[in-house]
């Protein structure tokens, strides 16, 4: 076996976990707005259980009416959820996975939009991201919450869970009590270390009292990464004290609203970068410890176990990208595992948009029933034009469905826009998606014709045609100064160090995603003085929060400046007049302007087909249908491949 440690079962208090791969509790937005379990949620978890995962910790569930992560949060305090949860747990267990329930209270890290009640916290200190001043909990309210934890534990037991996990991480209520940053109480629930620990202790005692034979564990941040907050040493002390209360396992995590990016580490974070937190705890306790965050590869997981840093490895996003990861790893089919590249575009970002989660590489997430690639009843001869993410995905799924597929790509290499996207600093992992798709095409025996620009005539013999011809960047949509050279996105990517070093370059963001910021970083790394400007409220306004925070961290070090709500009012040679909210600013010595526009759909071949073969079944996928982002392109390819 390629990964012997990963597939060694582990028994925790009588519950045997068949392997060391687990999925941590994560919100999916698949529950109903009444907080009830839906078939979609069951299908989602069942797909992972079928895929061979050892343990599923279902999403964080509200223990009290004063908390809701969103309108899709399961209300564990309400007995109405029990029939649905019973169905969920029994179906997960039917496929051999263990299932734990996560008990959760958001504390101040929420808005009152969904509960219409005051946000509560140990102290009336405003959360920096949610910006609501919470109500300071009274002692009676604290007692009520402790009882709520016990009641919900009993509900979890009734629903057939194997264990419960008390959420003490991510800056939620229990961590707010633990941390001196958020607990300014002067009664017995605050002040000293023992005082701040009191609420967690009472909760764990109450949960243990109600749990019976169920496993009881916690998830806790290993380091708050905020000066004056809990450090690793503090957390070690806390964990030892809580384990003495009878915990059966400890899960390590990181990140909260005062230090947001690590909660959902993007591809800016190295793989396994927070394993050391679990390692530091594992040295101290006798109960199993799990680690998480950017562990996307069974080889890395095996190494973590081999080196003794943890007993279980959370591969949550990795199993989102490929639910079959455990089965494939067990069989040694490493090349078959669709990678999680940490892009955050359809998991984290869609949560922020209050939409159900999905995955850039795996459009079937949350659509397990309707997106099951069943064999075609009548295999057809299908041409796919374009070797970008949409075309590759369409060809892959078509071949999977036993159609005869020929892929045309005018370039000598496959990958399309992903190849360009991966050239921006810290985005190289994006190419992992295309690399996996290309490998699958080889395995499925898809005929790939590289360097061949398909014409309508070439496509005539096929039963159906999928056009994924992408989009193109035209001339810059804006001229700031006639005397200064202007470049579009593609041209800017080709600029060399000799052309940019020492120059002041104005990057105008009209794409509103990561491209302007990525180009700014690339140019600044080559020695340019970069100013990024946008007409919008901020540069990269549509980019997810984590990626935006991380890239700005680096841009600040590179001295990149930004101007939001910018209007270009005129120029005198290399001096550009910019108006920002009524203030006038002259950018002097601008040596070049990069205008990052949205690309234009390449519909040349589509129109040609329409005129020459109007009866032919032609489908448009990805940017050639409408210029969008990679996840939408892959989704198009998958969807269309199912329609043919």
For the bound state, the minimum distance from the C-beta of residue 263 to other proteins, rounded and expressed in Å, comes to 13
Is residue 172 part of the annotated active site? The answer reads: yes
Using CA atoms, how far apart are residues 447 and 374, in angstroms rounded to an integer? 21
C-beta separation of 20 from 10 below 8 A: yes
For the bound state, the minimum distance from the C-beta of residue 261 to other proteins, rounded and expressed in Å, comes to 9
Residues 570-629 that bind other proteins (CB under 8 A): none
Three-class SS of 525-562: HCCCEEEEEECCCCCCCCCCHHHHHHHHHHHHHCCCEE
Beta strands (DSSP E) in 447-589 are 447-450, 464-467, 471-472, 486-487, 504-509, 529-534, 561-563, 566-572, 575-580, 583-587
Nearest to 121 by CA among 113, 133, 129, 112: 133
Please report whether residue 294 would count as binding other proteins according to CB under 8 A: yes
Cβ nearer to other proteins, comparing 28 with 279: 279
Given the rule CB under 8 A, which of 203-211, 308-316, 326-334, 401-409 is the region that contacts other proteins? 308-316
Residue in 149, 161, 199, 274 binding other proteins, rule: CB under 8 A? 274
For the bound state, the minimum distance from the C-beta of residue 286 to other proteins, rounded and expressed in Å, comes to 8
Three-class SS of 118-134: CCEECCCCCCCCCCCCC
Residue in 36, 82, 241, 300 binding other proteins, rule: CB under 8 A? 300
- The CA-based diameter of the chain, rounded to the nearest angstrom, is 81
Please report whether residue 497 would count as binding other proteins according to CB under 8 A: no
Residue in 124, 125, 226, 431 binding other proteins, rule: CB under 8 A? 226
Residues 242-261 that bind other proteins (CB under 8 A): 259
Residue in 116, 140, 186, 270 binding other proteins, rule: CB under 8 A? 270
Given the rule CB under 8 A, which of 71-79, 193-201, 273-281, 592-600 is the region that contacts other proteins? 273-281
User: Cα-atom radius of gyration of the chain, to the nearest Å?
Assistant: 26
For the bound state, the minimum distance from the C-beta of residue 538 to other proteins, rounded and expressed in Å, comes to 22
Nearest to 476 by CA among 422, 504, 516: 516
C-beta separation of 33 from 228 below 8 A: no
Please report whether residue 186 would count as binding other proteins according to CB under 8 A: no
Nearest to 104 by CA among 165, 29, 20: 165
Residue in 3, 72, 199, 269 binding other proteins, rule: CB under 8 A? 269
Please report whether residue 227 would count as binding other proteins according to CB under 8 A: yes
Residues 6 or more apart whose CB falls under 8 angstroms from that of 113 comprise none
Please report whether residue 241 would count as binding other proteins according to CB under 8 A: no
Residue in 54, 122, 134, 262 binding other proteins, rule: CB under 8 A? 262
Angle ∠(577,582,587) on CA atoms, nearest 5: 20
Cβ nearer to other proteins, comparing 223 with 257: 223
Please report whether residue 413 would count as binding other proteins according to CB under 8 A: yes
Please report whether residue 496 would count as binding other proteins according to CB under 8 A: no
Using CA atoms, how far apart are residues 593 and 78, in angstroms rounded to an integer? 58
Q: How many CB atoms lie within 10 A of CB 549?
A: 15
Q: How far is CA 366 from CA 160, 255, 436, in A?
A: 23, 26, 21
Residue in 185, 309, 317, 598 binding other proteins, rule: CB under 8 A? 309
Please report whether residue 282 would count as binding other proteins according to CB under 8 A: yes
Cβ nearer to other proteins, comparing 125 with 273: 273
Cβ nearer to other proteins, comparing 72 with 274: 274
User: Catalytic pick from 44, 172, 189, 249?
Assistant: 172
Q: Which two tokens stand for residue 147?
A: 């009882």
Please report whether residue 302 would count as binding other proteins according to CB under 8 A: no
The H or E element spanning position 94 is: helix 82-94
Given the rule CB under 8 A, which of 54-62, 223-231, 389-397, 608-616 is the region that contacts other proteins? 223-231
C-beta separation of 584 from 565 below 8 A: no
Catalytic residues: 172
Residues lying near other proteins in the complex (CB under 8 A): 223-227, 229, 231-233, 259, 262, 268-276, 279-280, 282-283, 294, 300, 303-309, 311, 412-413, 428, 550
């Amino acid at each position: 076996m390629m990964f012997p440690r990963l597939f060694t079962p582990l028994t925790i208090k009588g519950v045997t976990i068949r392997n060391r791969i687990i999925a941590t509790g994560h919100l999916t937005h698949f529950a109903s707005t009444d907080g009830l379990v839906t078939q979609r949620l069951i299908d989602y978890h069942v797909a992972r259980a079928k895929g061979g995962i050892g343990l599923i910790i279902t999403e964080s569930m509200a223990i009290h009416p004063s908390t809701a992560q969103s309108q899709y949060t399961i209300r564990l305090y309400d007995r109405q959820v029990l029939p649905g949860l019973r169905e969920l747990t029994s179906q997960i267990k039917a496929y051999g996975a263990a299932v734990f329930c996560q008990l959760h209270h958001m504390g101040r890290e929420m808005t009152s939009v969904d509960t219409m009640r005051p946000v509560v916290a140990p102290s009336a200190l405003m959360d920096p991201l949610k910006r609501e001043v919470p109500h300071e909990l009274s002692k009676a309210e604290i007692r009520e919450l402790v009882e709520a934890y016990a009641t919900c534990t009993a509900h979890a037991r009734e629903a057939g869970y194997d264990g419960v996990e008390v959420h003490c991480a991510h800056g939620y209520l229990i961590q707010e009590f633990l941390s001196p940053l958020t607990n300014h109480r002067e009664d017995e629930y605050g002040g000293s270390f023992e005082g701040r620990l009191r609420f967690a202790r009472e909760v764990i005692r109450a949960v243990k009292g109600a749990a019976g034979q169920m496993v009881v564990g916690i998830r806790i941040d290993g380091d708050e990464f905020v000066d004056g907050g809990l450090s690793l040493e503090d957390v070690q002390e806390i964990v030892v004290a809580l384990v003495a209360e009878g915990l059966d396992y400890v899960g390590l995590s990181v990140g909260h609203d005062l230090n947001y990016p690590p909660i959902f580490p993007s591809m800016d974070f190295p793989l396994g970068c927070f394993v050391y937190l679990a390692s530091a705890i594992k040295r101290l306790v006798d109960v199993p410890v799990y680690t998480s965050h950017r562990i996307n590869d069974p080889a890395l997981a095996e190494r973590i176990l081999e080196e003794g840093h943890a007993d279980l490895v959370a591969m949550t996003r990795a199993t989102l990208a490929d639910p079959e990861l455990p089965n494939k790893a067990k069989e040694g089919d490493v090349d078959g595992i669709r990678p999680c590249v940490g892009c955050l575009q359809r998991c984290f970002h869609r949560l922020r948009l209050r939409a159900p989660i999905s995955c850039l590489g795996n459009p079937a997430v949350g659509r397990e029933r309707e997106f099951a690639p069943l064999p075609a009843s009548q295999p057809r001869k299908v041409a796919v034009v374009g070797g970008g993410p949409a075309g590759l995905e369409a060809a892959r799924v078509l071949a999977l469905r036993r159609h005869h597929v020929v892929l045309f790509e005018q370039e000598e290499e496959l990958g399309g826009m992903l190849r360009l996207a991966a050239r921006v600093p810290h985005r190289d992992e994006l190419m992992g998606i295309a690399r996996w798709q290309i490998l699958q095409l080889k395995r499925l025996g898809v005929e790939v014709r590289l360097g061949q620009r398909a014409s309508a005539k070439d496509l005539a013999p096929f039963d159906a045609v999928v056009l994924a011809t992408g989009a193109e960047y035209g001339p810059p949509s804006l001229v700031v100064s006639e005397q200064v050279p202007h470049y579009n996105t593609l041209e800017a990517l080709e600029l060399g160090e000799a052309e940019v070093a020492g120059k002041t370059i104005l990057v105008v963001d009209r794409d509103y995603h990561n491209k302007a910021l990525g180009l700014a970083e690339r140019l600044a790394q080559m020695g340019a003085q970069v100013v990024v400007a946008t007409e919008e409220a901020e540069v990269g306004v549509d980019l997810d929060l984590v990626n935006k925070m991380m890239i700005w961290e680096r841009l600040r070090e590179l001295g990149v400046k930004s101007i939001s709500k910018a209007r270009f009012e005129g120029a005198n040679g290399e001096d550009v007049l910019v108006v920002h909210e009524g203030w006038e600013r002259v950018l002097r010595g601008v040596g070049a302007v990069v205008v990052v526009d949205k690309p234009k759909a390449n519909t040349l071949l589509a129109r040609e087909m329409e005129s020459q073969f109007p009866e032919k079944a032609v489908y448009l996928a990805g940017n050639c249908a409408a210029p969008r982002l990679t996840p939408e392109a892959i989704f198009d390819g998958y969807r269309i491949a199912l329609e043919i």
